[in-house]
Amino acid sequence: MRLGVNVDHVATIRQARRTFEPSPVFVALIAQQAGADQITLHLREDRRHIQDRDLELIKELITIPVNLEMAPTEEMREIALRVKPDRITLVPERREEITTEGGLDVLSMREYLKNYLKPFKEEGIEISLFIEAQREQIDASADVGAEAIEIHTGKYANLWNEHKFEEAKRELKKIKEAGIYAKGKGLRVYAGHGLTYHNVKDFVRELKGIVEELNIGHSIVANSVIFGFERAVKEMLNLIKS
């Protein structure tokens, strides 16, 4: 599997003091040097971590693909079409949430998304939708013109972290079935959210060959504070490439 390193929470530390360090741009370069396959970042409407300038600089300086997570708003569309990341990943966004709590309800936004996504298609920017492992959301994703889906792994990660291993296994099975179904529809399948150095191992064992890429942020940034960013990325790469 490929690894997309999400650098949002480097910016979270910086924004805690509204200062200039640590820089997610600097860290993105280190992740690239350490062997990451992609840099992922989420420009939130409230700008709580990544700022517009971070996105512009990362797009300018990074040579591996850049994946911009964003809410499907007009403001974000304008920014994305100007900066032109390699991929956009549409995510639901609520101001009061600590992190992205669920998948995008593509089903209820079908007509809106068809229109919304047109200019991205024209620009050749890959379109991925962050969804729950549900057939109706996969069908709707293919219908609105997505090329890929990213399956929300938050539930699996939480169950594993609470040592509810049987339930976690059932959740993995659900993700596997959804992944196979999505591939059958011609969609590329990615996954992420809440994955750690511990819970990622079972995920990789079960989903190898189905999920092409994982996007991981918090656990890498958290461990980088202790071990350094290069080592944090390399150790995660070791786990997911094994």
Going 104 to 109 to 114 to 118, the CA torsion angle's sign is negative
Based on the residue annotation, tell me whether 9 is a catalytic residue of this protein. Answer: no
Strands, DSSP E only, in the chain? 2-6, 38-42, 66-70, 87-90, 126-131, 148-152, 188-192, 213-216
Residue 71 in contact with ligand PXP, rule: CB under 6 A: no
124 Cβ contact partners less than 8 Å away, ≥ 6 residues apart: none
- The least distance separating ligand PXP from the CB of residue 99, rounded to whole angstroms, comes to 6
Instruction: Tell me how far apart the alpha carbons of residues 187 and 148 are, in angstroms, rounded to a whole number.
Output: 5
Which of 9, 42, 49, 152 is the catalytic position? 42
Q: Which stretch binds ligand PXP (CB under 6 A): 26-34, 72-80, 204-212, 213-221?
A: 213-221
Candidate residues 3, 93, 194, 237; the one interacting with ligand PXP per rule CB under 6 A: 194
Instruction: Tell me how far apart the alpha carbons of residues 168 and 156 are, in angstroms, rounded to a whole number.
Output: 5
Based on the residue annotation, tell me whether 49 is a catalytic residue of this protein. Answer: no
Residue 72 in contact with ligand PXP, rule: CB under 6 A: no
- The least distance separating ligand PXP from the CB of residue 4, rounded to whole angstroms, comes to 8
Candidate residues 192, 207, 210, 223; the one interacting with ligand PXP per rule CB under 6 A: 192
Instruction: Tell me how far apart the alpha carbons of residues 103 and 49 are, in angstroms, rounded to a whole number.
Output: 20
Residue 8 in contact with ligand PXP, rule: CB under 6 A: yes
Nearer to ligand PXP, 116 or 203 (CB): 203
Contacting positions for ligand PXP (CB under 6 A) = 6, 8, 42, 69, 89, 91, 99-100, 130, 150, 192-195, 215-219
